[in-house]
Homo-oligomer: A and B are copies of this chain.
């Protein structure tokens, strides 16, 4: 029995709930080492079990550390749980309403974040995977020779993905953003079929051993762009210097937001300062004005302030920070690429 499961079993006991249903692929993987490819119902109880789809049975049997059974139908599965005497069931907050609807007549349902809570604190091994993913991503970025690049945004995004795979990544950890010129004011811009304009913003990451990396660099050229870049860099650096266990996540957000606001660009910083990452590219907690989670050792959270001037350009600078006694940037890519 692994520790993750024991923790959930203790949580269940404390909350007086009999079982916990997991369906989110990365949650199932976190618990069992088996990453579903179509769907799966993982039920943590005294004897944990995974109902896997028939098309996943071979891979589930070969990879899962939790007992696997072939899923026949929802009715059969719910019937087996009821026959075991299970009446109260915890679910993930992300469970689709339609699944909840099929459960609510037979079980007393509560929503719990037992797995998210554990996933917040990364093990040494998990931090090593994120570090390796970051190293691959940063090495690949430098191979682009971005400053002499005559390709289109789309081609560069593709080259970056190719370098990451050649350097050992499974794939991108999310769709690479290569954007330039006025489009860079869109935080989630899609690479276009056009040659690079100025500034150039690249937001990218690798997936290694199931774990994500995430970085952003912006290369600026004009005086105005440099002025904005300097403000974002200050917000980035100060926020990272402030990180330490015991503070609230919202306090870290406030550091970068206050700096940007003091320079008069508060309304142009249109997202949170950062998010956790791990098996998923977006995890909890985040450095957000609304997240009062206490920062703890073992968390891995991005710091990515940005200023977006609609119709003109945007600047974002992002690093991923592993938290021990203080915040330590993962990887060694300079902020200033030019």
**Residues of A in contact with B (beta carbons under 8 Å apart):** 37-38, 53-59, 91-98, 100-101, 111, 154, 158, 161-162, 165, 170-171, 175, 185-188, 190, 270-271, 308, 310
Beta-carbon nearest neighbor of A282 in chain B: B38
Alpha-carbon distance A201/B189, docked complex (angstroms): 34
Alpha-carbon distance A170/B190, docked complex (angstroms): 9
Is B162 touching A154 in the complex (CB atoms < 8 A)?
A: no
CB distance from A237 to the nearest CB of B (A): 22
Is B154 touching A54 in the complex (CB atoms < 8 A)?
A: no
Copies held by the complex = 2
- A154: chain B residues within 8 A (beta carbon): 165
Alpha-carbon distance A188/B57, docked complex (angstroms): 11
Beta-carbon nearest neighbor of A109 in chain B: B97
- A55: chain B residues within 8 A (beta carbon): 187-188, 270-271, 308
Alpha-carbon distance A300/B327, docked complex (angstroms): 51
CB distance from A311 to the nearest CB of B (A): 8
Is A54 touching B270 in the complex (CB atoms < 8 A)?
A: yes
Query: A186's contact among B59, B92, B165, B310, by CB below 8 Å, is which?
Result: B59
Is B98 touching A94 in the complex (CB atoms < 8 A)?
A: yes
- A158: chain B residues within 8 A (beta carbon): 161-162, 165
Alpha-carbon distance A57/B59, docked complex (angstroms): 42
CB distance from A321 to the nearest CB of B (A): 21
Query: A271's contact among B54, B92, B165, B308, by CB below 8 Å, is which?
Result: B54
CB distance from A324 to the nearest CB of B (A): 30
